[in-house]
Amino acid sequence: MITILSHITLIQFLSIIQRLIFTNSTGYKSYRDIIFTMRSRLTIRKISTAPLHYDYQYGLASMLYIKLASANITLANEIHSHQGFKFYTFSNLLINDWIPDKKGLNFKTANLIISSPNVEFIRSFVEGLLKDTKFSLQRNGNNVNFIIESIDILPQQTIGETCIFKTLSPIYIKTMRKHNGRLAEVDLYPKDPKFYENLHTNLVARYKKYYGHAIEHDHFEVTKVTDVKPKRIAVGNSQRRCSHVVLTVEGDCDLIRFAYEAGLGEKNAMGFGCVDVINHKGEKGANNARSGE
């Protein structure tokens, strides 16, 4: 794992990476191999004393777009204007030190996982963060300020044909059903068999769209479900029913890896469906902190 301190400049950062490669201390062949094939973990510190509103995901999504645009406006505009799938996701805030507060989420530091199979997205996002490490999250007139203290470039995760996923942000899946004689959107929970059918269909469709071809073997089956925690999260002016869950999945390794990198379910770019891998001994991969749900 490589840690980038937030106070260094981008030029200093590139110099450090090149020095690591030159001394062969990382095992990677190039600077891009180190940075851009891995997910990132941000460590953020809350500067404001006021608590953060529980519905902060929309604010985080907006912050990510702003950071991306500061480094790569072409990519940011492409993502913003595209109405279809977006191939990145992020976790809930993984809070390290909860401070009891009835008015919202209060803490000193937290982690945020950013994940994408898109090499250019990860590169541009890291550059954008290094340009300006401060950001704010607003909700109902309250402005809470943060600073990014460090960015960890996490090593690639081993993915096999069987994998246990734990959600770092809840999975959102919907379907269309008749209501009063008209079709209407219905949010799905894991107790509904349609949840798993749509989860698979969505994953295969996103894989095809991203890589430009269908996957040869589209086997992806959820074989075990535990620790289901239904949630309701505000996104814009709507409420989304979603679920934190632990899933055991079996299937094609490439499809499972894509789920790990791009997220599971819908609205990944709004902070849904980010997952971590738990090995068979129950050890967590990315972070042991508690999620700010």
Fold of the 162-292 domain: Alpha-Beta Plaits (3.30.70)
In angstroms, how far apart are the furthest CA atoms of the chain? Answer: 68
**Tell me, what's the pLDDT at 33?**
43
- Could you identify the residue written with the tokens 């907006």? 62
Task: Choose which CATH entry (3.40.50.150, 3.30.70.1890, 3.40.1160.10, 1.20.1290.10) describes domain 2-153.
Answer: 3.30.70.1890
Domain locations in the chain as residue ranges: 2-153, 162-292
Residue 179 designated active-site: no
**Residue 289: what pLDDT?**
58
- 82: annotated active-site residue: no
Nearest-angstrom CA–CA distance, 148 and 13: 15
Residue-level pLDDT at 103:
87
CA–CA distances in Å: residue 138 to residues 44, 82, 142: 16, 25, 5
Residue 163 in tokens: 């994998």
- pLDDT value, residue 269: 92
* Marked catalytic residue, from 31, 58, 65, 210: 65
- The pLDDT value recorded for residue 31 is 41
- Quote the pLDDT of residue 10: 47
Compute mean pLDDT per 10 residues along the chain, 293 residues long, and list them: 49 48 40 54 94 91 89 78 82 93 92 90 83 86 89 84 96 90 91 96 96 94 96 86 96 94 95 87 47 66
Active-site position among 80, 82, 179, 217: 80
Q: What is the pTM of this model?
A: 0.83
Which residues are CB-neighbours of 120 under 8 A, at least 6 positions away? 36, 72, 75
| Percentage helix, strand, coil for the chain under 3-state DSSP, each rounded to 5 | 30, 35, 35
Q: What local confidence, expressed as pLDDT, does residue 17 receive?
A: 46
